[in-house]
Amino acid sequence: MKNIFKNRIIQSTLGLFLLLVLGCQRDLNELEQAEFSKNPEVFIDDFSGGLNYAAFGGSAPKAFQVDTQVKYAGTKSMRFEVPDFGSPEGAYAGGSFFTSVGRDLSDYNALTFWVKATQSANIDIIGFGNDLGENKYQVSISALSVNTNWKKVYIPIPDASKLTAEKGMLFYSEGPENNKGYTFWIDEVKFEKVPGIAQGTAGILNGETKTVTSFVGVNQNIDGLISTFSLPNGINQVVNLTPYYFNFSSSNASVATVNNLGNVSTVSGGSAVITATLGGKPASGSLTINSQGNFLAAPTPTLPANKVISVFSDAYTNVPVDYYNGYWAPYQTTQSADFTVNGNNVLNYYNFNFVGIQSAANPINASTTSHFHADIYLPNALAVGANFKVNIVDFGADGAFGGNDDTNHVTTITAPTLQGQNWVSINIPFSAMTGLASRNKIGQIVFEGTNVPAFYADNIYFYNDGSIIPSTPTAAAPAPSHPASGVLSVFSDAYTNASGTDFNPNWGQNTVVSQLPIAGNNTLKYAGLNYQGTQFASPLNVSSYGFVHLDYYTANSSTLNFYLISPGPVEKSYTLSVPSGIGTNNNGWKSIDIPLSAFSPVALNNLIQFKVDGNGDIFFDNIYFHN
C-alpha cells in the first residue's frame, strides 16, 4: 500500500498544494544578485537563505514543522509528522524544499543529513532535485530505514557537473506504517564533498538485459535508471535517477530511435539495441528491440458504449481495476511489457503461465451483460497441445476475495478456434458459465495457458448482445408508419381494430393473457406461454394484403412461433427470433413484417384465428395486415 506514496511524489508536481515557507535569514533580492551561490547548507539551525517549502498535493499540509526540542545538533531541527491512514488532514507527508534561485552544487558529491524517528520505519522516498518544475536532475533513495537513534544519511550526486544551477534542495514522501502515523526528524542538511564516496556501476532497466518484441509505431520509456555508490559507512547505496543524467544511444537508428529522455520509438522492422552511458562510462543493462514491422491491430469494436462494460479497450471508457497483472507469487511466471502502437494500448504478457486482472476494490456488476469478450494474439506459431483458458471469478455477496461465497467458471479454448499469429476474438456467453452463481461482483479475470509462451490482449469487456433486457418493456412499441387506408388492424392503438376479437379463447392453454399500458400504449401480454389463440368474430379476408406486421418483446423466451389459421383447420407457423433484444430492435421491441406468402397453404381469404406457441413472457402490439 505504501507504494502509492512513492509513486505520487515522482509524478507531476503541477498538482501541488503550495504551502510556501520562505527563508528567514537573508533577503531574496540579495541572493538573486549573488547568482548561483555555492552555499551548501539547506537546514542547519533554520532555513538557509532563499529556501522555501511546498507541501505536495494530497499530503498533510502541516506535516513539516521546525522543532526546537528534538535536534541532532544546534538549536533546531526539521520535524515531519506522518498522518494515520484515512486522516482528514492528508493521505501522507510529503513536500519539497527549494530555492527561488539556483545554486552551484558542482563542488560537492553528496547531500547529507542526520535522521531519527519515534519508531523503526522505512521512509518511502527522499532525495534532492525536485524544484517544482522540470525536476531535471532529481535523485532519490527508496525505503530509507530509520529508527529511534540518530544516523547519518548520504545521498550521492551521480554527476555534479550538471548541478550548476540547482533549485531542488530536499524532498520527501512518506505514508503511514501499517496504517499508523509516526514522527521523524531530520537535521544538519547540507551538500558536502565527502571522502570515501565512490561511484560504482550505473544501470538502465535496473541493470537487466531485456529483449522485447515491438512494432512500427510502438513507443516505450527506458526506466529503472539507477546508480550504485559505496559509502564511508560501508553501505552500497542505490540511487534512482532521471534520464537527464544519461546519454542514450541506439545500435540501429533505422529500426529504433531513442531521445535524451529515454523515449524509444520503433520506426521499422529489424533489430536494435538501446544502451546508455553515465558520465562517459557504460551503464549496465540494455533493451533489445526486435521489430516485426507494421502492427496488425485487433478488430475495432462496433458495439455501442451503452451495451459494454469495458475492462481494457481504447474504444470505450474503462472501469477502474486494481491491476492488469497481479504478479501472483510464487507460482506466476508471467511478466508484462505493455506497449502503445499508433495511439492504441495493448497488453503484452510473456513468460506466460497465468495472469490475473483484478477489480477487488471495485467489483464489476456484469448482471446486465450477456457475454465476456477479449481479443488475443499469439505472436508465436500455435504449439501442439496448446490451450488458452479464461477464468471469470465472482466474489459473491460479500464482494471480497475468499470466504465461502466466491464462484468461478473456466472456459478452455483450443484449436481450431485458438490460432497462432492472428487475432482471435473470444466471446463467452454467461449462459455457458455454469460455475458462476452470480455475476454482479466480478473481482478477477484470470488467463491461463498451456504451450502458449506469450500473447497480446486488447478489447477486454463484458457486453450485452441484446438478450439481457428488462422483463417488462420500459418503452412502448414503435409507432406504426403505414397509412390507415392500407391497413387491416387486429390489435393497435394506432388504427381502428377489427371488432369482436377474442384475445383469450379457452383452448386449454396455460398462458395467462392480460392487457396493460406500456408508456401509455395498450399492450397485449402472454405470461408463462405454452400456446395461445386469438379468435376473430368473423373470418378475415386478407388476400389483398402482402404482409402481417408484429411488434413483440420478450426477455426470456427461447422459442416462439406465430401461426395463421383458416378452416380445416389449416395452419402454418413462422418462427420469430428471440429474445427480442438481440439484433435490430427498438428498446427491446422487435418489429417484423412477414410476407403472407410464408403461410401457404392457409386460405388468406378466410382467416379465422391467430396462434402463438413457445415459452416465456411475451408482449405484443401493433398486429395488423398491410401492403
pLDDT tens digits for range 533-572: 999 999 999 999 999 999 999 999 999 999 999 999 999 9
The answer to whether the CB of 94 falls within 8 A of the CB of 125 is no
CA distances from 423 to 124, 151, 212, 458, 517 (A): 42, 57, 19, 10, 48
Q: Is the pTM of this model over 0.85?
A: no
Reported as a pLDDT band with limits 50, 70 and 90, residue 373 is very high
Instruction: Give the H/E segment covering residue 5.
Output: helix 3-10
Chain segment 46-92, per-residue pLDDT in tens = 999 999 999 999 999 999 999 999 999 999 999 999 999 999 999 99
Domain chopping of the chain, boundaries: 3-194, 199-291, 305-463, 484-626
Q: Both ends of the chain: CA-CA distance in Å?
A: 69
DSSP assignment of 205-272, as one string? GGG-EEEEEE-TTEEEE----EEEEE-TTS-EEEEEE-GGGEEEEES-TTTEEE-TT-EEEE-SSEEE
C-alpha cell at 295: 502492427
Site of grid cell 455454469: 434
Residue 483: count of CB within 10 angstroms of its CB = 10
Q: What is the mean pLDDT of residues 236-257?
A: 97
CATH class of 484-626: mainly beta
Q: What is the mean pLDDT of residues 266-285?
A: 96
Give the max Cα distance, the chain: 113
Reported as a pLDDT band with limits 50, 70 and 90, residue 403 is confident
- Region of residue 2 (left: phi > 0; alpha: psi -120 to 50; beta: else): alpha
Higher confidence at residue 221 or residue 190? 190
Chain segment 455-475, per-residue pLDDT in tens = 999 999 999 998 899 999 999
Report whether pLDDT(2) > 80: no
Task: Note the pLDDT of residue 402.
Answer: 84
Q: Report the chain's mean pLDDT, rounded to a whole number.
A: 93
The answer to whether the CB of 139 falls within 8 A of the CB of 239 is yes
Residue 55: count of CB within 10 angstroms of its CB = 22
User: Residues 6 or more apart from 34 whose CB is under 8 A from it?
Assistant: none
Task: Note the pLDDT of residue 20.
Answer: 47
Task: Note the pLDDT of residue 211.
Answer: 87
- Residue 159 identity (one-letter amino acid): D
Report whether pLDDT(33) > 70: no
Reported as a pLDDT band with limits 50, 70 and 90, residue 582 is confident
Q: What is the mean pLDDT of residues 410-415?
A: 97
Task: Note the pLDDT of residue 22.
Answer: 42
C-alpha cell at 535: 379468435
Q: What is the mean pLDDT of residues 582-596?
A: 93
Among the ranges given (4-8, 335-339, 482-486, 564-568), the one the predictor scored with the smallest mean pLDDT: 4-8
C-alpha cell at 262: 529515454
Angle at 573 between CA 569 and CA 577, to 5 degrees: 160
- Residue 569 identity (one-letter amino acid): P
Task: Note the pLDDT of residue 67.
Answer: 97
Site of grid cell 536532475: 137
CA distances from 161 to 227, 291, 583, 613 (A): 16, 37, 68, 87
Q: What is the mean pLDDT of residues 593-618?
A: 98
Report whether pLDDT(216) > 90: yes
Output phi, psi for 205, to 5 deg: 55, 35
DSSP assignment of 165-205, as one string? SEEEEEEEEE--BTTB-EEEEEEEEEEE--TT-EEEEEESG
- Whether cis (ω within 30° of 0) applies to the bond prior to 429 is no
Report whether pLDDT(5) > 90: no
Q: What is the mean pLDDT of residues 16-37?
A: 49
C-alpha cell at 495: 388504427
Output phi, psi for 10, to 5 deg: -80, -20
Q: What is the mean pLDDT of residues 213-219?
A: 88
Q: What is the mean pLDDT of residues 110-122?
A: 98
The answer to whether the CB of 56 falls within 8 A of the CB of 13 is yes
CA distances from 190 to 43, 78, 164, 313 (A): 7, 13, 16, 49
- Residue 510 identity (one-letter amino acid): N
Report whether pLDDT(618) > 60: yes
Reported as a pLDDT band with limits 50, 70 and 90, residue 309 is very high
SS (H, E, C) 460-521: EEEECCCCCCCCCCCCCCCCCCCCHHHEEEEECCCCCECCCCECCCCCCCCCEEEEEEECCE
CA dist., res. 100 & res. 168, Å (int): 9
User: Residues 6 or more apart from 346 whose CB is under 8 A from it?
Assistant: 298, 338, 339, 340, 456, 457, 458
CA distances from 293 to 249, 272, 339, 341 (A): 21, 13, 14, 11
Reported as a pLDDT band with limits 50, 70 and 90, residue 125 is very high
- Report which listed range, 32-41, 327-336, 565-574, is most confident: 565-574
Task: Note the pLDDT of residue 35.
Answer: 72
User: Residues 6 or more apart from 299 whose CB is under 8 A from it?
Assistant: 375, 423, 425, 459
Sign of the torsion angle spanned by Cα atoms 413, 414, 415, 421:
positive
DSSP structure class, residue 379: S
**Domain 3-194 and domain 305-463 have a common topology:** yes
Domain 199-291: which CATH number of 2.40.10.220, 2.60.40.1080, 3.90.660.10, 2.60.40.1840: 2.60.40.1080
CA dist., res. 591 & res. 577, Å (int): 11
Report whether pLDDT(620) > 50: yes
Chain segment 341-352, per-residue pLDDT in tens = 888 999 999 999
CA dist., res. 74 & res. 61, Å (int): 26
Report whether pLDDT(12) > 70: no
Report whether pLDDT(493) > 90: yes
CA dist., res. 571 & res. 600, Å (int): 9
Domain 3-194: which CATH number of 3.40.50.2300, 3.50.50.60, 2.60.120.430, 3.30.365.10: 2.60.120.430
Higher confidence at residue 25 or residue 488? 488
CA dist., res. 223 & res. 262, Å (int): 8
CA dist., res. 82 & res. 84, Å (int): 7
Report whether pLDDT(337) > 90: no
The answer to whether the CB of 449 falls within 8 A of the CB of 386 is yes
Report whether pLDDT(174) > 90: yes
CA distances from 208 to 211, 260, 286, 353, 549 (A): 10, 20, 7, 22, 70
Q: What's the CATH fold of domain 305-463?
A: Jelly Rolls (2.60.120)
% of the chain beyond a pLDDT of 70: 95
Task: Note the pLDDT of residue 611.
Answer: 98
